[in-house]
Structure 1
Amino acid sequence: MSTEKPVLLEARGLFKSYGTLPVLKGIDLTIGEAEVVSIVGASGAGKSTLLHLLGTLDAPDAGDVYLHGQKISGMSNKEVARFRNRNIGFIFQFHNLLPEFTALENVCLPGFLADRPEKEVEQRAKELLEMLGLGHRLDHKPSEMSGGEQQRTAVARALINSPKLIFADEPSGNLDSKNADELHQIFFKLRQDLGQTFVLVTHNPALADMADRKLTMKDGFLLQPEEVE
């Protein structure tokens, strides 16, 4: 980045093991507001585990995560779930849309879970779907949409509560190159138009290189720039 941005997310000394297998071995990082950061590395390097810890989907064995200076570690499960719903959005490789619900209903769900007024949520969901080129798909279920349309619906769902931060785990991994390119452009347009912050785990070199910063993981560590081959 050419200019330093205010810190939005900070991780200090994150460690995580599963059984006797150490996966993260002391991770420190900061993410700035309106920054797009990619995380790359071989399978098993710890990328998805790091994303889950930063996104409060899992808890570290040691270390702390702060969002806008607020310490997340130590919150109760209920407090973490409420905090996550209001402040963090997620986009996954396989979109995770509920098959029995329409695009509009899928997008509205996190808003309803946040106890926001129904009309307000539905209006915002329609605006987001329209913005993402899905105004004609409001009443379509996932099985009636293409893969690219399903993933754009998942993007709208991630945005419905105006989260400070969106985590995306292999967001274009299940898309063909055309739809992948379109999705990548959407991320950067959202950053430009909404000031949205993204942390992206990806094996897609084009997306990784488009980011403001590319972080490389290896064997549970974040490599320093001079260590990257």
Structure 2
Amino acid sequence: MLSARNIKKSYGPLAILKGIDLDIARGELVTIVGASGAGKSTLLHIIGTLDRPDSGSLMINDVDINALNEQKLSAFRNLSIGFIFQFHHLLPEFTALENVCIPAFIHGAAKAATEQRALELLTLLGVADRAAHKPAQLSGGEQQRVAVARALINNPAIVLADEPSGNLDSENATALHNLFIHLRDTMNQTFIIVTHNEELASISDRTIHMRDGQIYV
């Protein structure tokens, strides 16, 4: 469902990605590991269409990403890609339920149906009782679960996560990792996760190692 070929990216004279080839199957949970500066986050940003490569091709769900203009790319990103970040990035002025709904509202989804879907996701993730609370009233683990629900609200083809458990204690990190496995098993959800967490890498379907802007075995 994802195919990247010869992805290259430089910033000035510094080559960050040096020809990445990558295939991800639907329902696969893949972790990307490597030292800082290996190019992991840059690759994730390109896969997530937040940045464009200097050269190479990227197909997601049979859509040629390079062929999309900025408006179509933005719409595709909103509907097809979910994002989970290390620091949640929940909007502090909105409740948990409202934060989950925002990506659906962006593309014009109906309010009642969206709120019902959001509550179903919060229930699945074990935080439905916190739906009316704002982020400051939630624990770190609860905030991250709300962020996962937000990533899932549009039924994305793929969810990308950048160090999702990096800001959690070991108990909450383990719970989050088990949640990813549960979502893969029950929803056939595809995940690509950049992580330094060895526990998460060990339970993934496949671990991709990066070094100096390249994938190696």
Residue 218 (1) aligns with residue 208 (2): no
Match of 2:183 in 1: 190
Match of 1:136 in 2: 129
- Aligned mates of 2:178, 2:193 — CA distance in 1: 13
Q: What does 1:31-46 correspond to in 2, within 5 Å?
A: 31-46=24-39
Cα offset for 1:114?
Answer: 1.6
Q: What does 1:145-224 correspond to in 2, within 5 Å?
A: 145-223=138-216
- Aligned mates of 1:26, 1:74 — CA distance in 2: 20
Deviations 1:108-143 (A, max 9, x none): 000101211111100000000011111110110000
Q: Taking every aligned residue pair, what percent have the same amino acid on both sides?
A: 57
- Aligned mates of 1:176, 1:44 — CA distance in 2: 24
Match of 1:112 in 2: 105
Deviations 1:193-225 (A, max 9, x none): 1000000000000101111110000000000x2
Number of equivalences: 217
Match of 1:4 in 2: none
Q: TM-score, normalised by structure 2?
A: 0.99
Q: TM-score, normalised by structure 1?
A: 0.94
Say which of 93, 103, 114 aligns to 1:100: 93
Alpha-carbon RMSD: 0.6
Cα offset for 1:68?
Answer: 1.7
- Aligned mates of 2:209, 2:127 — CA distance in 1: 34
Say which of 42, 47, 51 aligns to 2:44: 51
Match of 2:53 in 1: 60
Say which of 41, 61, 67 aligns to 1:74: 67
Question: Which runs of at least 4 in structure 1 moved beyond 3 Å after TM superposition?
Answer: none
- Aligned mates of 1:143, 1:153 — CA distance in 2: 12
- Aligned mates of 1:163, 1:24 — CA distance in 2: 26
Cα offset for 1:21?
Answer: 0.8
AA partner of residue 218 (structure 1) = R
Cα offset for 1:64?
Answer: 1.1
- Aligned mates of 2:188, 2:59 — CA distance in 1: 19
Cα offset for 1:74?
Answer: 2.7
Match of 1:90 in 2: 83
Match of 1:20 in 2: 13
